[in-house]
Amino acid sequence: MTKDFQTLRDEIAALGPWHHDIEVAPGVRTGAEPERWRRDDETGSPSLIDPMRAMAVLDPIFPNGLEGRSFLDCGCNAGGYVFAAKQRGAGRCFGFDARDHWIDQAKFLSRHLPSDDVAFQTMTLGALAAAQPHAFDITWFSGLFYHLPDPVAGLKAAADLTSDVLVLNTATAEGKGDALVLNLESRSLIMSGVDRLAWMPTGEGVLRHILSWCGFPHAQLIFEHLPVDGFGRIMLVAARDASRLEPYAAVEASLPGRERRPFMRRVLARLGRRG
């Protein structure tokens, strides 16, 4: 390995811990050597995810790429989804997060990855409207809803700046009916919110009601992992226009019967848990 690559690895380690595993240069990834990250019992060590793979959820709607469409990432972490959108041809991109730690990582990556018309900023959802007066075609709202003291208002702030499609990915909690469940967080853990007070949805029903109130009455359930040990996960793609989601029906129709309907996956998961 060349000295330049070694320097790059050292810079990545100094910016750790990382949550987004991203290839910065051939053979050099942000998640390749987690043992080199600075570790602190107070902040914790996050898991690793690949944002490039997650972006494929939009492929049914945009089979030819994002073709210059603007992209907003709320709670962007290291900016992995922004760079994935850029890789698919997105135009204007903006990502923000409440923690400097993640924005420092995103700005580092912007020096090594294609980043024309890309901007990152440390800020909260409350400052979004003032920071970005122009709407975005696509908004990515992943890993943020359940960290907010007022998630309904937070999602509405993002939705008001979204003209076409909104992707919502959030943790869920066990609870009765369509509800939000209190979730008091640590302020110091790096993967927690910054307000301590937070709320987790119980599942698809409450999120559909909230999305509809935010101006996105049409939503496609991508997956729902039922709570295990109290916590689950769900992803929906929402749109202002119902026709935007029609391509997902064709994708579902091409799948084997067991995989075709998301609610069947939920039923099977529930039976598995009871077994």
For the chain, give every domain's residue range. Answer: 3-24+49-274
Per-residue pLDDT, averaged over 227-250, amounts to 92
pLDDT reported for residue 210:
98
The domain covering 3-24+49-274 belongs, at the CATH homologous superfamily level, to Vaccinia Virus protein VP39 (3.40.50.150)
Q: Cβ neighbours of residue 190 under 8 Å, at least 6 residues apart?
A: 17, 43, 44, 46, 99, 101
Residue 261 has pLDDT above 90, yes or no: no
Per-residue pLDDT, averaged over 142-171, amounts to 98
Residue type at position 223: F
Per-residue pLDDT, averaged over 89-95, amounts to 98
Note the Cα 205 to chain centre separation in Å: 20
A 10 A CB-CB count for 172 gives 24
Per-residue pLDDT, averaged over 179-202, amounts to 95
Containing 72, the helix (H) or strand (E) segment is: strand 71-74
pLDDT reported for residue 45:
76
Per-residue pLDDT, averaged over 159-185, amounts to 96
Q: How far apart are CA 137 and CA 70, in angstroms?
A: 5
Bigger pLDDT: 269 vs 193:
193
Per-residue pLDDT, averaged over 128-153, amounts to 97
Query: pTM of the predicted model, to two decimals?
Result: 0.91
